[in-house]
Amino acid sequence: MPKRIITISREFGSGGRQIGQQIAAELGITCYDKALIALVAAESGFDMEFVEATGEYAPRGKWLGNIAFGSGLRRGVHLIENLSISDRVHLVQNKVISEIAARESCVIVGRAADYILRERDDCLHVFIHAPMAQRVMRARDEYHLDAANIEKEVERKNKLRANHYKHYTGQTWGLAANYHLCLDSGAFGLRGCQEIIVNLAKK
């Protein structure tokens, strides 16, 4: 079946966000990146900056969501008061992503959307990565990261994403088997990646 939802997971600096935006524009659907953060902020009551920082980077402590909700909603509701702020953001993020996917064709960037939507068969799950040199270049040119220790900072951001993913999914971030398609944007270019994804999504 055609894949009407595309999730883009990406290394920091790989250009995955830009690829997601271009794909959405080409397919005439919404790219949930900043838009997703705005929805989670509105629903959770936290502000956007906090949601952006918390919703994809490693929280402290142990994720209790699966325990809280494993034995039924009543128990979950009872336990939700004990969840950390990170876990609350994560729960709202889960809910918002599931609702968007049920409602419309879209591109969703980051936020473990591949895992949250893993049971759906109308999703194309993509992971974008790139060699360090290109990630550093993009971090400097597009995110204006400081030139000193930039490589270390790029690695640190990836590590935080990996920890966050592990924490909430139990899976290893960037393992090929978790995605339908993984692309090296350094090898194919952003435009090349975009073409491959759009072609596959349409099939």
Beta strands in 105-148 (DSSP E): 106-109, 123-129
Rounded to a whole number of angstroms, the minimum distance from the CB of residue 187 to its own copies is 4
125 with 7: CB under 8 angstroms? yes
Residues binding its own copies: number (CB under 8 A) = 21
Q: Based on the shown chain and the rule CB under 8 A, indicate whether residue 184 belongs to the binding site for its own copies.
A: yes
Contacting residue, 88, 166, 188, 198, with its own copies by CB under 8 A: 188
What gap in Å lies between CA 58 and CA 43, rounded to an integer? 21
Q: Based on the shown chain and the rule CB under 8 A, indicate whether residue 202 belongs to the binding site for its own copies.
A: no
Contacting residue, 45, 60, 148, 176, with its own copies by CB under 8 A: 176
What gap in Å lies between CA 183 and CA 176, rounded to an integer? 10
Backbone angles phi, psi at 2, to 5 degrees: -60, 145
Categorise residue 55: left if φ over 0, alpha if ψ from -120 to 50, beta otherwise: alpha
State which residue, 83 or 201, has the beta carbon closest to its own copies: 201
Q: Which stretch binds its own copies (CB under 8 A): 82-90, 111-119, 148-156, 179-187?
A: 179-187
Pick out residues in 74-133 that bind its own copies (CB under 8 A).
124, 127, 129
Handedness of CA 78, 83, 85, 89 (dihedral sign): negative
Residues that bind its own copies (CB under 8 A): 11, 124, 127, 129, 172, 174-177, 179-184, 187-188, 192, 196, 200, 203
